[in-house]
Structure 1
Amino acid sequence: MSLTVSPETERPPARAAATTASLAELARADEVRFILATFTTLNGKPCSKLVPVEEADALEQDGVGFAGYAAGSMGQLPRDPDVIAVPDIASYTPLPFVRPGLALVHCDPYVEGRPFAFAPRVILRSLIARAAERNLTLMAGAEVEYFLVHRRPDGTLVPADSRDDAAQPCYDARGLTRMYDHLTAVSDAMVALGWGPYASDHEDGNGQFEQNFRYADALTTADRVVTLRYIIQVLAEQRGMTATFMPKPWTDRTGNGLHLHLSLWQDGDSRFPRPADAEDPYGLGLSGLAYSFVGGLLDHAAGLHALIAPTVNSYKRTGARTTASGATWAPTQASYGGNDRTHMVRVPDAQRVELRAGDGSANSYLAIAAALAAGLDGVVRNADPGPPGVARTTTMPRTLLDAVHALDIDPVIQAVLDSVDPACGVSDYYAALKREEFYSWHNTVSDWEVDRYLTAI
């Protein structure tokens, strides 16, 4: 829920420049003993192998192999050849605060020498390249929300802090103080990594927190979301808690969002603020390019949900009528406006827009790639978002199945998934994966059904 620091106050650091140091040299300089070579599946699961520093040169040169089918949603069968994870040295991240001597490097998966079409990081790279063809760079910030919980023997969840039971706990100083050790450990980690964390806060749900870092280029931010989730979960486990990014752990409480702050840059400057000599038809201080970008997000709102709200549970968040605090903070219609958190696209200032529809289950690579594709489509078509505050007639998905239907008829969002190699059919595979997820849930008898139907007839 926090505001991301405005680009007016400080320009983001550029993505780490190519270094002459090898992965082994970087690791040894940090006294690293083991490196987590990491990639994510389409469902966002982080997959790693723990590589000793003595094998860092081989890791850098040859990558490390995985059985893609065993990893999960990677478009493979048991008979298929290995997925080879090739490290991106620019993403090297020492993690001594997790375990002494540990580091992580994000990898681009390859199969038989070619970038793997089912790999989310490779997909985002392809969309970044598409923007670069227009001399545009997407800068992104992310708000990472999560709950700290305990799971009772009967399976029910309770906040890890038993005293966190206020009807409106947002920003509560006492709740922050009780979780001080965890929150400061996470913040100290981000400081050590140079991410520029600027705030940790208690969010609107009991046991819910948000920790923010400064924005950067799209790939760096997507990597950092994956790394931060890992750090948060491991540090929580060390204190006997479970950190969950599940969109809606409780029916009556606010859910977890993954809000994305987005802007397009060109030649080192943001192209979103309105030039001094340009008209501003809607009074929000945005350039024509920025309004068109917003128009693209709104035009593709329904199909976009399949990638930014990709689970059955996501639609318990967006479909919530109310919560204990009185607000859901989840947009229900395709609209945009100024500094107003009820819209799908919020414009807090002229430097950026905030896409508020994504949730904690989103794969950061796919979510950012889909947002970039939708926005670029708006730029290409010179899309008009219309007046602020006016909802589109777009029917927003009420379930994951609705979102998959919307994906099926949105060629722009389908093309995100198919961007690396259309012949591989990643979009069709992803849609089938999500349909099966929906039907698997639908085929499970719930307490709600027993309560409603047991003696109804």
Structure 2
Amino acid sequence: MFSNADEVLKYLKDNEVKSVDVRFCDLPGVMQHFTVPVESFDADVFANGLAFDGSSIRGFQAIHESDMQLLPDVTTARLDPFRAEKTLNINFFIHDPLTGEAYSRDPRNVAKKAEAYLKGTGIADTCYFGPEAEFYVFDDVRFTSGSQESYYHIDAEAAFWNTGRAEEGGNRGYKPRVKGGYFPVAPNDHYADLRATMSRALIDSGLIVERQHHEVGSAGQAEINYRFNTLLSAADDLMLFKYIIKNVAWNAGKTATFMPKPVFGDNGSGMHCHQSLWKDGAP
């Protein structure tokens, strides 16, 4: 979408964007953010970056060396489809503000260095990754761990355990059986429209969606496949994918989770990852 700072600044002005959401990834792989009003987002951000407290981010700095620097990656800028105020999201690289070096625990820097290392070996000049992240969609999620009780409870309208419950308007019985959720048509597939909404949001954000379907698990397990990409871009795509899936589900009054095994006795959610190495345009 953008290739340099001037293009970003011009877009912010010409399109009446109100805020820029500054995003970076912590060591365990969870996106973090803070928001800057567009009035405070200028050319200086691209030259000198933005500061943040690295001691408050998991896996980063000790409190006596907490200052860290964020520098924007303009190629990742996209409008946020969920914010009420027009907001441009940009992923940032993390640097040491004293030395200017790329931070060794920034997952985006690690991916960038890995791509450079691959080219240096001469084995290949490009690596493609195509992750397939499965997820469940729940209607109710409750959990607690206290001095007097500890439990978790999940529920979904299409879950196999709900075939016998009383439902408003009557229980019409269409619930995929245990491990029986792969590819059924409606009315067994309760979530086709929700997945379609998710897919459209992904497409509007720049991902190339190839297919979507109900997965093997009951209780709304789903998979949406999108086009592979080079390592750093594929990692950014996956973070964008999870953000969109969770927020579309949230807006629909549901909870999407990428937990590996949320339902005992039914299929877990995996993330197959297709990989290929290319050199001079050939695999």
Q: What TM-score do you get using the length of structure 2 for normalisation? A: 0.81
Bigger shift: residues 178-187 or 221-230 = 178-187
Pair 1:136 & 2:125 matched: yes
Kindly provide the CA deviation profile for residues 399-449 of structure 1, in whole angstroms up to 9, marking residues without a partner as x. xxxxxxxxxxxxxxxxxxxxxxxxxxxxxxxxxxxxxxxxxxxxxxxxxxx
1:118 paired to 2:105: yes
Specify which of 56, 78, 81 is matched with residue 63 of structure 2. Answer: 78
Match of 2:247 among 234, 242, 262: 234
Residue type matched to 1:196 in 2? I
- Is 1:40 aligned to 2:25, yes or no? yes
2:68 and 2:19 map into 1 onto residues whose CA distance is: 21
Report the aligned-residue RMSD: 2.3
Superposed displacement of residue 19, structure 1: 4.0
Within 5 Å, give how 1:322-337 maps onto structure 2: none
> Are the aligned partners of 2:22 and 2:33 in contact in 1 as well (CA < 8 Å)?
yes
What is the CA distance between 1:30 and its match in structure 2?
Answer: 4.7
Residue 219 of structure 1 pairs with residue 209 of structure 2: no
State how far apart, in whole Å, the 2-side matches of 1:252 and 1:173 are.
23
State the AA in 2 paired with 1:159: A
Could you tell me whether the CA contact under 8 Å between 1:148 and 1:236 is conserved in 2?
Answer: yes
Check conservation: 2:53, 2:66, Cα contact below 8 A: yes
What does 1:45-194 correspond to in 2, within 5 Å? 45-57=30-42, 58-74=44-60, 76-97=61-82, 99=84, 101-112=86-97, 113-133=100-120, 134=122, 136-149=125-138, 150-152=140-142, 155-159=152-156, 161-162=158-159, 164-167=175-178, 168-174=180-186, 178-194=190-206
Identify the residue that residue 388 of structure 1 maps to in structure 2.
Answer: none
Calculate percent identity across the aligned residue pairs.
25
Of 218, 221, 227, the match for 1:208: 221
* Counterpart mapping for 1:248-267 below 5 A: 248-267=261-280
SS at match of 1:174: coil
Q: Quote the offset at 1:223 in angstroms.
A: 0.2
Q: Is the 1:94–1:103 contact (alpha carbons within 8 Å) kept by the matching residues of 2?
A: yes
Structure 2 match to 1:412: none
* 1:209 Cα deviation after fit: 0.6
- Maintained 8 Å contact 1:98/1:231: no
Q: Which residue of 2 aligns with 1:315?
A: none
Gap regions ≥5 residues in structure 1: 1-15, 272-457
In 2, the alpha carbon distance for the partners of 1:114 and 1:250 equals: 44
Cα deviation digits, residues 334-387 of structure 1 (max 9, x gap): xxxxxxxxxxxxxxxxxxxxxxxxxxxxxxxxxxxxxxxxxxxxxxxxxxxxxx
Q: How does 1:337-356 map to 2 (within 5 A)?
A: none
> Residues 130 and 234 of structure 2 are in contact (CA less than 8 Å); yes or no, is this contact kept in structure 1?
yes
Number of positions where the alignment pairs a residue of Structure 1 with one of Structure 2: 254
Letter in 2 for 1:122: N
- Residue by residue, what CA displacement relative to the aligned partner does 1:258-283 show, whole Å, maximum 9, x if unpaired? 2111111222x232xxxxxxxxxxxx
Structure 2 counterpart of 1:366: none
Q: 1:70 to 1:164 in 2, by over 3 A?
A: farther
Q: Distance in 1 between matches of 2:91 and 2:234?
A: 12
| Preserved contact between residue 55 and residue 66 of structure 2 (Cα < 8 Å) | no
* Displacement of 1:220: 1.0
Residue identity matched to 1:158: D
User: In 2 relative to 1, CA 248–87 (structure 1 residues): closer, same or farther, beyond 3 Å?
Assistant: same
For 1:114 and 1:210, locate their aligned partners in 2 and report how far apart those are by CA, in whole Å: 38
Task: Provide structure 2 residue ranges, at least 5 long, that are not aligned to the other structure.
Answer: 144-150, 160-173
Q: Which has the higher contact order (CA 8 A, sep 6+)?
A: 2
Assess if the C-alpha contact under 8 Å between 1:38 and 1:85 holds in 2: no
Q: Which structure has greater helix proportion?
A: 1
Change (3 A) 1:137 1:192: same
